[in-house]
Structure 1
Amino acid sequence: MKRAHIVQLMGFCLLIVQYFTVQAQDINLLFKEASNFERVQKENEALEKYKLVLTQDPANLKALVKATELSASIGGRQADKNNKRLFYETALSYAKRAWQADSNHADAAYAMAMIAGRMTDIETENKQIVAFVKDIKLYADKALTINPDHAKANYTLGKWHYEMVTLSGLKKAAVKLLYGGLPSGDLEKAIVHMEKCKTLEPYFALNYLDLAKAYKEARQPAKAIEVLNKLVKLPVRTGDDPAIKAEGAKMLEAIQ
């Protein structure tokens, strides 16, 4: 009887091992399929694959961060404001889940900073705008404390510095009123962080565009032209890249 129980237990353990092995294989396959879709700029399809990963592993950090990025990217291209808000709020929920899954991982902090920046574009309530402005820097700083070489966190912090210098009148008034004064944005820091991002991730088109804008704002047109010339020659890697490259080409034409 004892022997029979041992055999049964061993059989049960084997079934558990097989189940988790199959599940791991399925997740690996989903990641591969998602990556292949991203490579050909099929972002909606890639996002669905990451969602499938999350049905099996709800706290999978990589899938949560990817879902954040893709939801934000797709949302940014929505002409309808309600659709844009829906995608951005969905991205924010993924970022919060990533943060809850591992708040000591640079990717989770970056995801929170990145989507906070997107939310400032659609938020209408001044207090909430300022809260998101604070979150951008808070989480970007956190990401870079964990990993100083996190490319997109460097970009995000650089963009924050740039925007604090170039805020539109409405946002600037809101931030001044509710932040307790305007945060000390610094163009030099913006350029340093975005230059570092360019070194770490040389195909990140958006970084080139904003770096060129920072150089232009800093009255360094030769540097802006140099960056824009590199931007227009970059390969298309994401669904946003064609529009980014087109904006860069237009900016280049205007500066030269």
Structure 2
Amino acid sequence: MSSLLWLRLCVLPACTWVRWLTLAFLCGTMAPLPAAAQFRNRTRKPATARPPVAAALTADPPAVLQKLVQASTLVNQFKDSEALAVYQEVLKTNPTHYLALWQAAVLSVKIGARYSDETRKAAYFDAGRQYGDRALLLRPEGGESNFAVALALFNQATLYKAGARLKAFDDLRSHVYLATQNRPDLPQAWQLLGRWQYRVAHYNLLERVYSNLVLGGVPSGGDSRKAMEALEKARSLAPTNLQFCYDLARMYQYQGRRRLAIQTLRDAEKISPITSEDLVISRLCRQMLPPLLRADAQRQKRLTSLERKNADPDKVPVNSSVSK
């Protein structure tokens, strides 16, 4: 280093030196952590330099392929716990297996959502978040990894207090958009996007104030119409999914689109439940339908009465007194 450059550095203010040293410390200590993705700024692009992932990109050996096929079969048979165990076996052999990581994340969240005990929920959601973060380190722009992280964040938010919940909704924005952008064929990603958009669009006054004061603003993208479009996209990709029907019917109902809600619920009646969860959702759909039908019938009755009234000629009262 030249003497002139060294002299210029020496005369820098102390605050500048503190900033540089702090930045160097953070880069040296936080980068290797698997959960470092959660500390990224929302508007900052993911770093291009990542740990070597050659093991995740090479062809899987026959034993691993057999386990992957086994896990996929178990998922199709709705045996999520058994499938998760198989993916965990794959990760013991290859900790950087991308497919096993994001599938383990999704399965962990699905299993945790079935528990009523918040401690067990939190344990599964945290495990799902860890799997998702590891997948995100391998492929920062991957649709599957971003979906896994967004799904874990969205479910973790249900257990948080108000401030942490709003922070989680803010953090998952980029993930849910990357998921639908890079995996547009994944219906669950569109469902999650629709749920997030609808939730953000209906922040109450306190939530908006907190977001503006603490989080730098309400996340952009919250819109009821776009949320319904996202749910419609998910349903078009998986028309026999009862959860999509239920979510979409509720949005239609809340937005005053009663006819669309009724049609969606009638379509749901034609879908045969497969799992116990499907059975619960099917019952919820059937419970929603009668009040909507009654409200629609009353509306039609009022419209018919109004039309008949407008169709009658105006009756002018006859004045009995005739001026001469």
Q: TM-score range, shorter-chain basis?
A: 0.7 to 0.9
Matches within 5 A, 1:91-106: 91-106=128-143
AA in 1 matched with 2:192: T
Query: What does residue 249 of structure 1 align with?
Result: 286
Assess, with a 3 A threshold, how the Cα gap between structure 1 residues 179 and 211 changes in structure 2: closer, same or farther: farther
Contact 1:40 1:237 in 2 (8 A): no
1:136 correspondence with 2:185: no
Rg bigger for which structure?
Answer: 2
Contact 1:130 1:178 in 2 (8 A): no
Contact 1:38 1:238 in 2 (8 A): no
Which of 121, 134, 153 is matched with 2:189 structurally? 153
Which of 66, 69, 87 is matched with 2:103 structurally? 66
Displacement after TM superposition at 1:212 (Å): 1.2
Contact 1:144 1:154 in 2 (8 A): yes
Which of 94, 101, 109 is matched with 1:57 structurally? 94
Query: What does residue 320 of structure 2 align with?
Result: none
Displacement after TM superposition at 1:46 (Å): 1.3
Extract unaligned runs of 5+ from structure 1: 1-19
Assess, with a 3 A threshold, how the Cα gap between structure 1 residues 178 and 191 changes in structure 2: closer, same or farther: same
User: Percentage identity across aligned positions?
Assistant: 26
Q: Per-residue CA shift, 1:211-246, capped at 9, x if unaligned?
A: 111111111111112222223433446664333223
AA in 1 matched with 2:198: Y
- Partners in 2 of 1:227 and 1:171 — Cα distance? 31
Pick which of 148-157 and 115-124 moved more: 148-157
Query: What does residue 178 of structure 1 align with?
Result: 214
- Partners in 1 of 2:83 and 2:225 — Cα distance? 37
Assess, with a 3 A threshold, how the Cα gap between structure 1 residues 81 and 32 changes in structure 2: closer, same or farther: same
Extract unaligned runs of 5+ from structure 2: 1-57, 294-324
- Partners in 1 of 2:215 and 2:234 — Cα distance? 28
Displacement after TM superposition at 1:106 (Å): 0.8
- Partners in 2 of 1:103 and 1:62 — Cα distance? 14
AA in 2 matched with 1:130: L
Displacement after TM superposition at 1:174 (Å): 4.8
Work out which structure has the larger RCO, using CA pairs closer than 8 Å and 6 or more positions apart in sequence: 1
Q: Per-residue CA shift, 1:154-201, capped at 9, x if unaligned?
A: 221111111123457876665465334444521110011111111123
Q: Alignment RMSD, CA only?
A: 2.5
Question: What's the TM-score, normalizing by structure 1?
Answer: 0.81
- Partners in 1 of 2:103 and 2:274 — Cα distance? 15
- Partners in 1 of 2:276 and 2:194 — Cα distance? 22
SS state of the match for residue 61, structure 2?
helix
Contact 1:120 1:133 in 2 (8 A): yes
Displacement after TM superposition at 1:122 (Å): 0.7
Higher helix share: 1
- Partners in 1 of 2:102 and 2:272 — Cα distance? 23
Contact 1:208 1:227 in 2 (8 A): yes
AA in 2 matched with 1:163: R
- Partners in 1 of 2:156 and 2:79 — Cα distance? 24
Query: What does residue 236 of structure 2 align with?
Result: 199
- Partners in 1 of 2:154 and 2:120 — Cα distance? 17
Displacement after TM superposition at 1:85 (Å): 0.6
Q: Per-residue CA shift, 1:5-36, capped at 9, x if unaligned?
A: xxxxxxxxxxxxxxx99x72222221222222
Question: What's the TM-score, normalizing by structure 2?
Answer: 0.65
Contact 1:67 1:91 in 2 (8 A): yes
Query: What does residue 12 of structure 1 align with?
Result: none
- Partners in 1 of 2:256 and 2:285 — Cα distance? 17
Query: What does residue 217 of structure 1 align with?
Result: 254
- Partners in 1 of 2:212 and 2:68 — Cα distance? 44
Which of 229, 242, 245 is matched with 1:208 structurally? 245
Q: How many residue pairs end up in the alignment?
A: 235
AA in 1 matched with 2:228: I
Query: What does residue 53 of structure 2 align with?
Result: none
